[in-house]
Amino acid sequence: MSVNLLDFDAKALAGFCSEIGEKPFRAKQLLRWMHRFGEADFAGMSDLAKGLRDKLAATAVIEPPRLMRDHIAADGTRKWLLSVGAGNGIETVFIPEASRGTLCISSQVGCALACTFCSTGRQGFNRNLTVAEIIGQLWWETRRWRKSAKRAGEGSTPASTAARMMTWLIAIIILVIFIIPSPMWL
């Protein structure tokens, strides 16, 4: 059975690398590919040895929740409905503003608050999300920014102020949740 590497923090990823016979520094490389470049395909991780990429493909996945629906409202608000299995969906919402944007992510399947504007709240509470399901929501937004930057001819790095702010916000969230608490990075 494949494990989802998005579920691992830095320490757990180093442990996984050791379990498959690799040195712990491979975890740093994998984290960079997953969170800095948004790469989900091991074959695209060019600085990893082919044997390691094959081993990873046989034992692991990098899999954010599956997109069920993508809706853009007239005011530019974008909603993604993502599948988290067992017939359950979660909603991730990006709200653009003139000088910044707000990304609302789900941490649970359903919600006990039952807000009328939110389809997640109308489900009632079901369960807490896994780390991969939470981080996977951030992936949808970073992928959107990367694609919009490429379409705008800016290359692979978002150049607009709003895009840079979102990229840094996501990087900070990933650092706070995964990297800073791990003694591997101290």
Q: How far is Cα 77 from Cα 94, in angstroms, rounded to an integer?
A: 6
pLDDT of residue 185: 40
Q: By 3-state DSSP, what share of the chain in percent is helix, strand and coil, each rounded to 5?
A: 45, 20, 35
Q: How far is Cα 70 from Cα 104, in angstroms, rounded to an integer?
A: 15
More confident residue, 59 or 172: 59
Domains 3-63 and 66-179 share a fold: no
Determine the 3-state secondary structure of 129 from DSSP.
coil
Q: State yes or no: pLDDT of 66 exceeds 90.
A: yes
Q: Please tell me the pTM assigned to this model.
A: 0.73
Q: pLDDT tens, 90-144?
A: 888 888 888 878 888 888 887 777 777 766 667 778 888 998 998 889 887 777 7
Question: CA-based diameter of the chain, in Å?
Answer: 52
Residue of 40, 5, 10, 2 lying closest to 140 (CA atoms): 40
Q: State yes or no: pLDDT of 170 exceeds 80.
A: no
Predicted confidence band of residue 183 (pLDDT cuts 50, 70, 90): very low
Question: The tokens of 177 are what?
Answer: 């949740």
pLDDT of residue 47: 92
pLDDT of residue 23: 93
Question: The tokens of 44 are what?
Answer: 């695209």
| CB distance 37 to 167 below 8 Å | no
What are the extents of the domains in the chain? 3-63, 66-179
Q: State yes or no: pLDDT of 173 exceeds 50.
A: yes
**CATH 3.90.1330.10 is the classification of domain 3-63:** no
**Domain 66-179: CATH superfamily, name plus number:** Aldolase class I (3.20.20.70)
pLDDT of residue 111: 75
Q: State yes or no: pLDDT of 156 exceeds 50.
A: no
| CB distance 124 to 108 below 8 Å | no
